[in-house]
Structure 1
Amino acid sequence: MLIRLDLQLFAGEKTEKATPNKRREARKKGQVAKSQEVSSALMLLLIFSYLMLGGTALIKGIMQIFRHSFHEYMLWDFSISSIELLFTQIVVNAAKIAGPILGVAVLAALLSNFAQVGFMFNPESIKFNLGKLNPIQGAKQIFSMRAIVDLCKSILKMVITSAIVYMIAWPQKEQLLVLGEKNLWDAAAFIGALTLKIGMGIAVALGILAAADYLYQKYEFEKKIKMSKQDIKDEFKKMEGDPFIKGQRRAKQRQMSMNRMMQEIPKADVLITNPTHFAIAIRYDFSTMEAPEVIAKGKDHIALKIKEIAREHKIMTVENKPLARALYASVEIGETIPEELFNAVGEILAYVYFQEGRYKGITT
């Protein structure tokens, strides 16, 4: 009794890797190995890379807005039309500056998600779930291991970010103190260069953290979807009984059988046809076979395909409607012809051998 109980407990332990079917079901529910840190790190990296390449144009654009504001907009008459025009121009100019940055951020988000999980549209994740409003379940999530890990990651990110800002900005403290003595362009260039250094440093550091977090998320995901031996057995039984799976298996078996049959047609001695509805390929080797054998047969479009292959390999075709129907109805592929049809088939084989100038021991 104790041994049986131990075996049941062991069978219930989730020690096996998830099957492909379990992975597909998890993916449909939106359960995938994914790290949000990858999106954040890649977004920072691409945005600051863009700023390094186009930062000068960005500063010039901002300076242009200030220049127009103080040189032109301040001199305009105060009216509804002038305010509308001013607002429109500022919005358009700001969009030209911020638009590429937002585009890079969206591209980074798409790339990071595609790199981790591929293309996935999951309606399940956007459905309203009342279970998420359960305070007891929410409390469990707050004090769960995942919440503790997320807290540790947030603290680690703050520490890393602060350390990078300190290491890069502290050596520049003297120039920061005299920043007010510089002209506007030099001050903007200095702040921009310093910001880029800090941003790229943080992006690289968070990239390393994101890689580690992705490996952890993958480990947690694989652990979460592990299956017991009993789960695998139950899934196998379910798939065996699934009509769709059975249909797919039968279709694949039919296709494989059809391919094998088509490969055997070149070995045929004669093709007996209806002529349009049936086609039966007959093979006979006097030295090894007791009777002729049907190696391929088909109806309608399959018959047309058999005749096409027979023509390609110059196999003689003989039209005999009653015999073709009888062979198609009574003989399966791989079986020898019955005794009642032997004479009729033997006459056709003898005729074929005579026409081809060869003899295989068939007598009529």
Structure 2
Amino acid sequence: MAESDQERTEQPTEKRLSEAREKGQIARSKELATALVLIGSAVALMLVGGELATAIALVMKTSFSLDRAEVFDPHLMLHGIGSMLLILVKPMAWIMVIILIAGLIGNTLLGGVAFSWQAAAPKFNRLSPLSGFKRMFGIQAVVELAKGIAKVLVIALAVWWIFKAKFGTMMNLSMQTLPGSIDNALHLLQWLFFLMTLSLLLIAAIDVPFQRWNHVKQLKMTKQEIKDEHKNTEGNPEIKGRIRRLQMEMTNRRMMADVPQADVVITNPTHYSVALKYDSEQAGAPIVVAKGADVIAFKIREIAQHYEIPVLESPAVTRSLYHTTKVGAQIPDGLFVAVAQILAYVFQLEQFNKGQASRPRKPSTNLPIPDELQY
């Protein structure tokens, strides 16, 4: 087999991607998830931080404001602890909800939502020391190391830039009085934390395209795999061709069995044959009971002659019927006049053969056919 057929140079098919997704093998970016979780945490502190600080201050004040009865009564102490926890529940719940939403978005933004039992199943091959060494010193490990170093550098540069920009403001905090200085310090810390977390988006912006590329690279296929998948999905071309031939043969046999019921067979005269039947009791349009080209056309004429069915040459009408009708369907409206003249001749010829009428004149070979039905 050619060496090029064994190289993974082909893009993964939809089936390959779908199977990988079922196994839990999808593109994920830990850097994007981490960045959004930290940004969500910073946003949560900015939105609910004031309420949380107030709740903590109230808890601290309540904790250090105990009278003698509360100190010596365990029940009152437990009640006080419960009350203090209730004070913290609301702001903490809001913070947790915001972080949870950020975590869900961060983990599903790339790759979407997917759950796989196969991915959740234990993989004992990961316990192999050899596999562990391969992961430690593989390309993926080098990439992770590079990302770790990049994160440290980016965050360090972000912290340096922020502290340089806000150094004067931080120094002025020592000149302010309580409790305003504490509020300003908390507000400053919130913004410093938010700006530092934004710096992680730079790492995520690099990691997301890399994870997409790496995911596709891992799923690339060889040309032989593409061929095998096509065979398994669509079926072997040789078997499909044989099935089509068998179906065509069965259809032709059924069609040939209907030829003896026809009233007339019109021909091209050599390439096409069309067998027509008209049921006067149903008062409908004539029906095509059989049609064919070349060998099948000759077989239709042969059966018609055997059963003494009239065979007429009308090249234009035959071509039009062959190309515009299906077996078992009525003829198009535009061919009513032409076919009616042919059937009229056939029925008059039948009467002549019975001695009940004079010999009819054959219809013209240039019967009226609309332009859109001419072939």
| TM-score of the aligned structures, taking structure 1 as reference length | 0.64
Structure 2: tracts of 5 or more residues without a match: 244-261, 311-329, 331-338, 348-375
In structure 2, the CA distance between the partners of 1:71 and 1:106, relative to structure 1 (3 Å rule), is: same
- 1:206 is aligned to 2:192: no
Displacement of 1:195:
1.9
**Counterpart-to-counterpart distance in 2, 1:150 and 1:71:** 52
Displacement of 1:68:
2.4
Letter in 2 for 1:220: N
Render the CA deviation track for 1:243-270: whole Å, top value 9, x for unaligned.
xxx9xxx9xxxxxxxxxxxxxxxxxxxx
In structure 2, the CA distance between the partners of 1:285 and 1:54, relative to structure 1 (3 Å rule), is: farther
- 1:222 is aligned to 2:206: no
**Counterpart-to-counterpart distance in 1, 2:277 and 2:22:** 50
Mapping of residues 22-61 of structure 1, within 5 Å: 22-61=16-55
| TM-score of the aligned structures, taking structure 2 as reference length | 0.62
Range 156-165 or range 166-175, more displaced: 166-175
Runs of 4 or more, structure 1, over 4 Å off, are: 72-75, 170-184, 284-290, 316-319, 331-340, 358-361
**Counterpart-to-counterpart distance in 2, 1:180 and 1:74:** 38
Higher relative contact order, structure no. (Cα contacts within 8 Å, ≥ 6 residues apart): 1
Letter in 2 for 1:35: S
The partner residue of 1:91 within 81, 85, 89 is 85
Range 201-210 or range 61-70, more displaced: 61-70
**Counterpart-to-counterpart distance in 2, 1:219 and 1:132:** 24
In structure 2, the CA distance between the partners of 1:170 and 1:82, relative to structure 1 (3 Å rule), is: farther
- 1:235 is aligned to 2:229: yes
**Counterpart-to-counterpart distance in 1, 2:121 and 2:67:** 49
Render the CA deviation track for 1:228-252: whole Å, top value 9, x for unaligned.
111111222222349xxx9xxx9xx
- 1:160 is aligned to 2:154: yes
Checking the alignment, whether the CA contact within 8 Å between 1:164 and 1:198 is kept in structure 2 is no
Displacement of 1:154:
1.4
- 1:71 is aligned to 2:65: yes
Checking the alignment, whether the CA contact within 8 Å between 1:286 and 1:360 is kept in structure 2 is no
- 1:102 is aligned to 2:93: no
Identity of aligned residues (%): 25
Corresponding residue for residue 291 of structure 1: 275
Task: State the number of aligned residues.
Answer: 279
**Counterpart-to-counterpart distance in 2, 1:93 and 1:286:** 96
The partner residue of 2:107 within 113, 124, 128 is 113
Corresponding residue for residue 147 of structure 1: 141
Range 122-131 or range 210-219, more displaced: 122-131
**Counterpart-to-counterpart distance in 2, 1:26 and 1:48:** 35
- 1:169 is aligned to 2:153: no
Checking the alignment, whether the CA contact within 8 Å between 2:20 and 2:26 is kept in structure 1 is yes
Render the CA deviation track for 1:165-199: whole Å, top value 9, x for unaligned.
23223454566567567555323322322222222
Mapping of residues 337-352 of structure 1, within 5 Å: none
